[in-house]
Amino acid sequence: MFDVKTVSMEWGGKTLTLETGRIARQADGAVLATYGETVVLCAVTAAKSVKEGQDFFPLTVHYQEKFSSAGRIPGGFFKRERGATEKETLTSRLIDRPVRPLFPEGFYNEINCIAQVLSYDGETEPDVVAMIAASAALTISGVPFMGPIGACRVGFVDGEYTLNPKQDAALADGRLDLIVAATGDAVMMVESEARELTEEEMLGAVMFAHDECKKVVNLIVDLAEKAAKEPWQIDLSDNAADIKAKLKDVVGADVAAAYKLTDKSARANALNEARAKAKAAFADAEPQTQMVAIKTMKKVEAEIVRGAILKDGQRIDGRKLDQVRPIESIVGFLPRTHGSALFTRGETQTICTTTLGTKDSEQMIDGLEGLSYSAFMLHYNFPPYSVGEVGRFGAPGRREVGHGKLAWRALHPVLPKKEDFPYTIRILSDVTESNGSSSMATICGGCLSMMDAGVPIERPVSGIAMGLILEGDEFAVLSDILGDEDHLGDMDFKVAGTENGITTMQMDIKIAGITKEIMGKALEQAKAGRAHILGEMTKALGSARTELSAHAPRIETIQIDKSKIRDVIGTGGKVIREIVAETGAKVDIDDEGVIKISSSDLDQIEAAKKWILGIVEEAEVGKIYAGKVVNIVDFGAFVNFMGGKDGLVHVSEMKNERVEKPTDVVSEGQEVKVKVLEIDNRGKVRLSMRVVDQETGEELEDTRPPREPRGDREGGREGGRGGDRRGPRRGGGGGGGRGGDRDRGPRRERGEGGDPDHMPAFLKED
């Protein structure tokens, strides 16, 4: 029934298996990739004809993680997989970016590439497996795909490169999380987060990854030899030579003049006039010829710009190849935000704001690993007005998600440790102008806004976008590329980092890859550019502010013993709710006894902290505390002190003179100062007011004369009433007469008036 073809190899300590012919047999190409116990199915389908008027390549890549693959049911109200999560969107982009350039120019058939995670073992990351499955499915489908590509993840631990580490462990145990996709000849795509790696270390990681990708490429070729379908026969010959020659004659000079204009809007207007002139030149031609002329016009523009750069070193805006556009940075730009910065580089500009929040503001993520929380977020917005256009303004698309994550990776490695800065951090980047590299502007502006907010980052981070013009053996690397240089060039190479090293690197290639020589050149040129940008940023703010914004919440962290957690929370949360309600501060406590108290009012924080410490601290004999009378009884008053402790002030300890009734001295709710006299072995606390100055809280000299013989008459009367129930067990009244004061007399002091001569014989012997 099934014609199954399988290939396998040992790779990174696990078996990588590619299988086809069993599942999704109606797709043009379907591969089940298994690595460890992680399984991904990728199915590719392609339209057999081109839609009328189609003039671009409609490739759609969709990656989906099935919760069942990890034995989980989705959280929330809807118990099924819904819209793409951020991780799924980013992985879809990881697959799309390296395979798109490997389709021939002029191929406009629609293609769907759908990758689904069917099994996840918790160790083998499915994103790399999905990239391999997609490459294999495209290779065997018969579509004109000039692959295959291989993919792998690389870590860097103790100076050694590691293959396919777990994503979380890559940076927890080492200094690098790098994903590379490559053909057998050249690197196609790089995505990374690093802890200040040098250019040499990063280049070495990419080359290490390329060697491992070659092994995957060879495995896919083996599968294709067994199972590939017949390649499509398509005619992609270039019949536009005559059209191109005519266009150069008609508008070549106009295009060259337009690209010498340094102002973006003026350049755009001049180019639009040239395009209109070219369209008029073919007004009488056939519709098909007109469409070819429009596409060929783009090639004419590219040839003119690229030729000027390679031959004369002349860029569109007149800069040198390694020159960065003028930069201006302003911090504290917005009065009510916690931190803000306006970063402008040439015609690219962004407003970045940093907002500080408490643990409640963390981002909850429901993924294959289960629920997790992120305390650092970076959101990037690209409204249509930033490029002077009219367009849809709504939820972020894949591009916005990707650019935001790139900036996130650049800044994440320099954040302070959670225990040192227990805030949730959100950076918002609103691009207001764009002419190339708005993601790098987001990194610079986001870094400045964090420093303006008082986030103690390790070192400032800057980013720069590099471009490439490659014709045969000639090439030119461009620093800080414009939007047009990005569109007409062969590479988008973005590098960000501190003065000590790289924190992120992203590379996308529009041709069949670049060499080690070109990448090394780009990295060195980017290093100089980053240093220049850092210097310009320092003019606005060189380091993080030492004080938080007046509008930011304050968070204070205290550590208590785990055994005291239940005392702070109380039955059903009663105590912690009371603390929050009374003080106004927000209180969070974790299972390790770490308590975070937050409020924009420092007095509220101090009140909550004092209350909590009062609950967890142990009372000390001889120490004076402030307390509140919470209950009055015949023999004294109970006082709450240290937040959660009660003690008894006996009527005899209220004043140095005789007190008839406790209510003559105190009332419920009254604030008093008390000294701890005794704590018995059951934790019962005996307090005194008479030895403390109730105004100042200072200890007074005990002027009371030594006690009368222990059986004093007052003690007898009190004992007759039953005694202080909170006193030691031995001090109870009873026996002969009214009994003794349980607090004031040992067992021997019994009888009427406490006279020893009236004691029974057996008590005298005791």
Inter-residue contact 300 to 255 (CB < 8 Å): yes
Residue type, 182: A
Query: Which residues, 6+ apart, have CB-to-CB distance to 399 below 8 Å?
Result: 382
24 sits in the region (left: phi over 0; alpha: psi -120 to 50; else beta) called: left
| Cα four-point dihedral sign 356, 357, 362, 363 | negative
Token digits for 728? 């030691």
Token digits for 513? 């890859």
The widest CA-to-CA distance across the chain, in whole angstroms, is 137
User: DSSP character for 639?
Assistant: E
Closest C-alpha among 217, 173, 12, 188 to residue 95: 188
Q: How far apart are CA 238 and CA 107, in angstroms?
A: 12
Q: How far apart are CA 703 and CA 618, in angstroms?
A: 28
Strands 594-599, 645-650: pairing kind:
unpaired
Residue type, 764: K
Closest C-alpha among 731, 733, 748, 738 to residue 717: 738
**Counting every residue, how long is the chain?**
766
333 in helix, strand or coil? coil
The CA–CA distances, whole Å, from 317 to 201, 439, 681 equal 34, 20, 85
C-beta atoms surrounding 440 within 10 Å? 30
- 492 annotated as belonging to a binding site for a ligand: yes
Inter-residue contact 530 to 497 (CB < 8 Å): yes
The CA–CA distances, whole Å, from 442 to 306, 434, 536 equal 28, 11, 15
User: Which segments are annotated as binding site?
Assistant: 486, 492
Annotated binding site for Mg(2+): 486, 492
